[in-house]
């Protein structure tokens, strides 16, 4: 199986390459025009990730996430490849009530989300030859070996023996294990019976921040320490963090405490099978990689 891949050096790309040595990969070379020739499938993973520090110019999102995607997709249409997989994001959908499904009208609120949605719309606007298939994947927060972000922050808090001060906040979030995402990639690459379209990708069950801390504590074999400080006090400290550029700021507080539940039912039904990695099992695997990297 010959695969043309962009973003091969990124978090998702490097994990997919390491787990799929049986594939023959043609890697996109940064700074060149994408030229997709005689391959079976295109895995378009390259993109400008969401910048929580707000240091990235808006136009860079549109250039990398939108315009570059257009170039790759146009090359795919003119190639022999049968399958095109675009790694978008749930951020392309924007804010949503209770549970996100693919049927909810997209209304992204961030430049990152808008740049991904513009790319999606371009792909969907093109007539697709009968022998080609296109999949737009919207994963939730992806975790696995090499993961960096809020999950890593939680690990550091627990591993250093600090109590978790946000116990007053109740939430549920959907996560996406890199092993489940890799499984979906392989299914879409090998099979020709899955309908083109937009698919949410996430683990089978959402997990609360409190449960995440319990999982981390279990892996580290330490006592779970959770403080239920007043929400008003936490909000004040986050505002101070905005001014002083501290680790806890308003945006990070929202990410750590908000609920964001996503449905993967459409994907599971299309595959005809459950994703292989259980939510808790996937988080446990990721936490163990943090220990090995300490």
pLDDT digits (tens, 9 = 90+) for 179-209: 999 999 999 999 999 999 999 999 999 999 9
**Could you give the CA distance from residue 115 to residue 59 in angstroms, rounded to a whole number?**
9
Which of 82, 111, 139 represents a domain boundary (last residue)? 139
pLDDT at 55: 57
Q: Which two tokens stand for residue 285?
A: 């695997």
Co-location of 156 and 80 in the same domain: no
Co-location of 55 and 164 in the same domain: no
- The answer to whether the beta carbons of residues 239 and 250 sit under 8 Å apart is yes
Co-location of 77 and 214 in the same domain: no
Low-confidence ranges of the chain (pLDDT < 70): 50-56, 294
Query: Which ranges in the chain belong to alpha helices (H)?
Result: 11-19, 58-61, 68-77, 111-125, 150-159, 178-190, 209-220, 231-244, 250-257, 265-271, 279-293
pLDDT at 294: 64
Co-location of 99 and 162 in the same domain: no
**Overall number of domains in the chain:** 2
Which of 139, 163, 185 represents a domain boundary (last residue)? 139
**Could you give the CA distance from residue 103 to residue 122 in angstroms, rounded to a whole number?**
18
Co-location of 155 and 31 in the same domain: no
Q: Which two tokens stand for residue 264?
A: 């993967």
Q: Examine residue 151 and state whether it is found in any structural domain, yes or no.
A: yes
Contacts of 226 (CB under 8 A, 6+ apart): 163, 164, 167, 210, 213
Q: Examine residue 198 and state whether it is found in any structural domain, yes or no.
A: no
Q: Examine residue 158 and state whether it is found in any structural domain, yes or no.
A: yes
**Could you give the CA distance from residue 90 to residue 81 in angstroms, rounded to a whole number?**
26
Q: Could you tell me the residue range of the domain that residue 165 belongs to?
A: 147-176+204-294
CATH number of the CATH domain containing 294: 3.90.25.10
Co-location of 156 and 281 in the same domain: yes
CATH number of the CATH domain containing 34: 3.40.50.720
Q: Examine residue 186 and state whether it is found in any structural domain, yes or no.
A: no
Q: Examine residue 58 and state whether it is found in any structural domain, yes or no.
A: yes
Co-location of 48 and 154 in the same domain: no
pLDDT at 271: 98
pLDDT at 46: 95
pLDDT at 11: 93
Co-location of 30 and 80 in the same domain: yes
Listed residue (81, 67, 55) closest to 135, CA to CA: 81
Co-location of 211 and 114 in the same domain: no
- Angle at Cα 72 formed by Cα 140 and Cα 183, nearest 5°? 40
Q: Examine residue 191 and state whether it is found in any structural domain, yes or no.
A: no
Q: Scanning the structure block, which residue is given the tokens 């959907």? A: 174
Q: Examine residue 6 and state whether it is found in any structural domain, yes or no.
A: yes
Per-residue pLDDT of 42-95, as tens digits, reads 999 999 886 555 556 789 999 999 999 999 999 999 999 999 999 999 999 998
Co-location of 170 and 31 in the same domain: no
Which of 94, 111, 139 represents a domain boundary (last residue)? 139
Co-location of 119 and 164 in the same domain: no
255: Cα separation from own chain's centroid: 14
Contacts of 205 (CB under 8 A, 6+ apart): 278, 279, 280
pLDDT at 268: 98
Q: Examine residue 190 and state whether it is found in any structural domain, yes or no.
A: no
pTM: 0.92
Co-location of 154 and 71 in the same domain: no
């Amino acid at each position: 199986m010959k695969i043309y891949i962009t973003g091969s050096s990124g978090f998702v790309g490097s994990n997919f390459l390491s787990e799929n040595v049986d594939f023959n990969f043609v890697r996109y070379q940064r700074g060149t025009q994408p030229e997709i020739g005689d391959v079976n499938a295109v895995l378009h993973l390259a993109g400008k990730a969401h910048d929580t520090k707000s240091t990235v110019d808006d136009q860079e999102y549109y250039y990398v996430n939108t315009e570059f995607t257009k170039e790759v997709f146009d090359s795919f249409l003119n190639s022999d490849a049968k399958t095109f997989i675009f790694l978008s994001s749930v951020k392309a959908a924007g804010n949503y009530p209770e549970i996100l499904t693919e049927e909810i009208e997209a209304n992204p609120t961030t430049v990152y989300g808008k740049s991904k949605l513009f790319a999606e719309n371009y792909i969907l606007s093109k007539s697709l030859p009968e022998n080609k298939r296109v999949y737009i994947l919207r994963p939730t927060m992806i975790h696995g070996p090499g993961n960096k972000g809020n999950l890593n922050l939680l690990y550091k808090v627990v591993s250093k023996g600090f109590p978790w001060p946000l116990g007053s906040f109740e939430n549920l979030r959907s996560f996406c294990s890199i092993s489940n995402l890799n499984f979906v990639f392989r299914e879409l690459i090998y099979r020709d019976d899955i309908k083109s379209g937009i698919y949410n990708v996430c683990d089978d069950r959402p997990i609360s921040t409190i449960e995440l801390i319990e999982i981390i504590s279990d892996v580290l074999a330490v006592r779970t320490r959770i403080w239920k400080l007043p929400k008003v006090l936490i909000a004040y400290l986050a505002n101070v963090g905005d001014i002083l550029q501290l680790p806890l700021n308003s945006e990070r507080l929202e990410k750590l405490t908000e609920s964001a539940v996503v449905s993967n039912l459409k994907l599971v039904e299309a595959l005809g099978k459950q994703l292989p990695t259980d939510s808790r099992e996937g988080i446990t695997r990721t936490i163990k990689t943090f220990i090995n990297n300490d």
